[in-house]
A and B are shown apart, each in its own frame.
Chain A
Amino acid sequence: MHPTLRAFRILNPPKVSFDDDDYGECNPNEHRAFCQILMQDYANKIFRHMPGPASKLKVLSIKPITDETDEEVARDVNGHQWPVYNYVRGRLFDATGTSVIVAHPSKYITLDFPGMAFFLQHI
Chain B
Amino acid sequence: MAPMLWERFKADFRDVTPRLLATLLHPSQPGILSHVREISFIKSPHSTTEEEHLRSVISAIPQDRIRRFASEHKVSTLTLQVLLRSQHKIDCLHVLSDFTTPGLSKPSHIDSQEQDAWTGSSLPEVSELLLDIQPRKSSYERILQDLRTISRYSPKIKCLTLEMVSSEGSEGTTLSEVLRQDEEPCLFPNLTFLRLFDMNIAAKENKSICDSFDVSRLKCLELSHCNRLIPLLEHLTSIYTRDTGDLISLIILLPTELQEPKNTIKAIDDLLMVCSKLRCLWLEFLQHGFVAKTSVLAHCQTLQTLTIGNGNSDLDSHFPVADMTELIGACTKLRMLGVNMPVVRAQMDAFSDMSMNMNGEFAEILVISYLHYLIFSL
B partners with A: yes
Residues of A within 8 A of B (CB): 1-20, 23, 38, 41-42, 45-46, 49-50, 64-66, 116, 119, 122
Give Cα A18 to B345, complex, Å. Answer: 11
Q: How far is the CA of A97 from the CA of B338 in the complex (A)?
A: 35
Q: A5-B335, A9-B337, A20-B377 are in contact. Are A15 and B313 (CB under 8 A)?
A: yes
Q: Which residues of B contact A4 (CB under 8 A)?
A: 332-335
Binding site for A on B (CB under 8 A): 251, 282, 284, 305, 307, 309-313, 317-318, 328, 332-341, 343, 361, 364-365, 367-368, 371-378
Is the CB–CB distance between B361 and A1 below 8 Å?
A: yes
Contact, CB under 8 Å: A18 / B341: no
Q: Is the CB of A20 within 8 A of B378?
A: yes
- CB-based contact B368/A45 at 8 Å: yes
Report chain A residues within 8 Å CB of B310.
11-12
Residues of B within 8 A of A38 (CB): 371, 374
**Contact assessment for B340 and A122 in the assembled complex, using a CB-CB cutoff below 8 Å:** no
Q: How far is the CA of A20 from the CA of B378 in the complex (A)?
A: 6
Q: Is the CB of A11 within 8 A of B335?
A: no
Indicate if the CB atoms of A45 and B377 lie closer than 8 Å: no
Q: Which 4 A-B pairs have the closest CB atoms?
A: A11-B309, A9-B338, A12-B313, A66-B311
If the complex has contacts A46-B368, A49-B368, are A11 and B376 also in contact, measured as CB distance less than 8 A? no
The closest CB in chain A to the CB of B368 belongs to A45
Which of A19, A65, A116 gathers most chain B CB within 10 Å? Answer: A65
Return 26 A-B CB contacts under 8 Å, by A number: A3-B332, A4-B333, A5-B328, A5-B336, A6-B336, A7-B337, A9-B307, A9-B336, A9-B339, A11-B310, A11-B339, A12-B312, A12-B340, A14-B373, A15-B313, A17-B373, A17-B374, A17-B375, A18-B376, A18-B378, A19-B377, A38-B371, A41-B371, A45-B368, A45-B371, A65-B309
Given A10-B341, A119-B336: A42 in contact with B311 (beta carbons within 8 A) = no
B311 lies within 8 A of A65 (CB):
yes
Residues of A contacting B311 in the complex (Cβ-Cβ under 8 angstroms): 11-12, 64-66
Residues of A within 8 A of B373 (CB): 14-17
State how many angstroms separate the Cβ of B178 from the closest Cβ of chain A: 26
Asked whether B343 lies within 8 Å of A15 as measured between CB atoms, the reply is yes
Please tell me if the beta carbons of B337 and A49 are within 8 angstroms of each other in the complex: no
What A residues does B332 contact at CB under 8 A? 3-4
CB distance from B331 to the nearest CB of A (A): 9
Contacts of A6 in B (CB 8 A): 335-336
Tell me the smallest distance from the CB of B206 to a CB of chain A, in Å.
29
Contact residues in A for B375 (Cβ distance below 8 Å): 17-19
What are the residues of chain A within 8 A of B333 when measuring CB–CB? 4
CA distance in complex: A65, B317 (Å): 14
Closest chain A CB from B283 CB (angstroms): 11
Residue pair A12, B328 in contact (C-beta under 8 Å): no
Closest Cβ of chain A: how far from B38's Cβ, in Å?
Answer: 12
How far apart sit A90 and B310, CA to CA, in the bound complex (Å)? 30
- Contact for A122 among B282, B313, B337, B372, CB less than 8 A: B282
Find the residue from B336, B339, B376 having the highest chain A CB count within 10 A. Answer: B336
A7-B335 CB under 8 A given contacts A15-B372, A20-B378, A42-B372: yes
> How many whole Å from B120's CB to the nearest CB in chain A?
29
Assess the B307–A13 pair: CB atoms within 8 A.
Answer: no
In the assembled complex, the Cα of A116 lies from the Cα of B304 at a distance in Å of 12
Task: Report the Cα distance A2→B375, complex, angstroms.
Answer: 29
Chain B residues whose CB sits within 8 angstroms of the CB of A8 once the complex forms = 336-338, 365
List B contacts of A1 (CB < 8 A).
361, 364
| Complex Cα gap A42–B365 (Å) | 11
Q: Say whether B338 contacts A2, CB under 8 Å.
A: no
Contact between B372 and A11, CB atoms less than 8 A apart: no
Assess the B328–A2 pair: CB atoms within 8 A.
Answer: yes
